[in-house]
A and B are shown apart, each in its own frame.
Chain A
Amino acid sequence: DVKVTQSSRYLVKRTGEKVFLECVQDMDHENMFWYRQDPGLGLRLIYFSYDVKMKEKGDIPEGYSVSREKKERFSLILESASTNQTSMYLCASSLPLAIYEQYFGPGTRLTVT
């Protein structure tokens, strides 16, 4: 059974803080993804990674960076958090040729005050 875990379910940070969101998957998937989910909008892709140390920008990468030092772990970094980054953040993973079959983590609800 695929398991994708995220380091925090809820986070409250102040404007300007550096924020780390961590995601770990246990199925040896090559692909990992970070999305944000806002009310009334579909999930929007921030970044994805198809291999260790490899990353690609998604649709809304501004204000975010990522790190993938190990295959099972994919981190999303907010260098200087802003209030418009208050959102639900979802991590997902998939096999390399099955990007359409993504397994999601439980999400981190981030509030920036």
Chain B
Amino acid sequence: KNQVEQSPQSLIILEGKNCTLQCNYTVSPFSNLRWYKQDTGRGPVSLTIMTFSENTKSNGRYTATLDADTKQSSLHITASQLSDSASYICVVSSGGYNKLIFGAGTRLAVHP
């Protein structure tokens, strides 16, 4: 069964600290993996997208990694800001781009 699991479910960190969110998937065939940021009461907004051959991709203070062998991805946030408080959703595209499998998300709270 195609699944995307994210951990932790929720996380609280202090402003300025770094954190890493995890995404494990059992999706086949794999096409690409995307991380979305969803602010409370808003729709998800794309942060990064990675294909099979990419190991790392950065978007400002966000860095995503992908290990296609172990089927794991991580999202690292550097020098967190209050505006990073949001849910982060891992999404894997499967089957020739016609199916998306969504993780349940990690809810991040950044406190001053």
- Contact surface of A with B, Cβ cutoff 8 Å: 4, 9, 40-45, 90, 92, 97-102, 104-107, 109
26 residue pairs from A and B, CB less than 8 Å apart: A4-B43, A40-B104, A41-B104, A42-B4, A42-B103, A42-B105, A43-B44, A43-B89, A43-B102, A44-B102, A90-B44, A97-B97, A99-B93, A99-B100, A100-B31, A100-B49, A100-B91, A100-B93, A100-B100, A101-B46, A102-B100, A104-B43, A104-B45, A105-B43, A106-B43, A107-B43
Residue numbers in A under 8 Å from B31 (CB-CB): 100
Is the CB of B59 closer than 8 A to any CB of chain A?
no
Task: Name which residue of chain B comes closest to A35, CB basis.
Answer: B102
* Number of chain B residues close to chain A: CB under 8 A: 24
Taking A42-B4, A42-B103 as known contacts, 17 extra A-B pairs with beta carbons closer than 8 A to each other, sorted by chain A number, are A40-B9, A42-B104, A42-B105, A43-B44, A45-B100, A90-B43, A90-B44, A97-B97, A98-B97, A99-B93, A100-B31, A100-B91, A101-B34, A104-B43, A106-B41, A106-B43, A107-B41
Task: Name which residue of chain A comes closest to B39, CB basis.
Answer: A106
- Contact surface of B with A, Cβ cutoff 8 Å: 4, 9, 31-32, 34, 41-46, 49, 89, 91, 93, 97-105
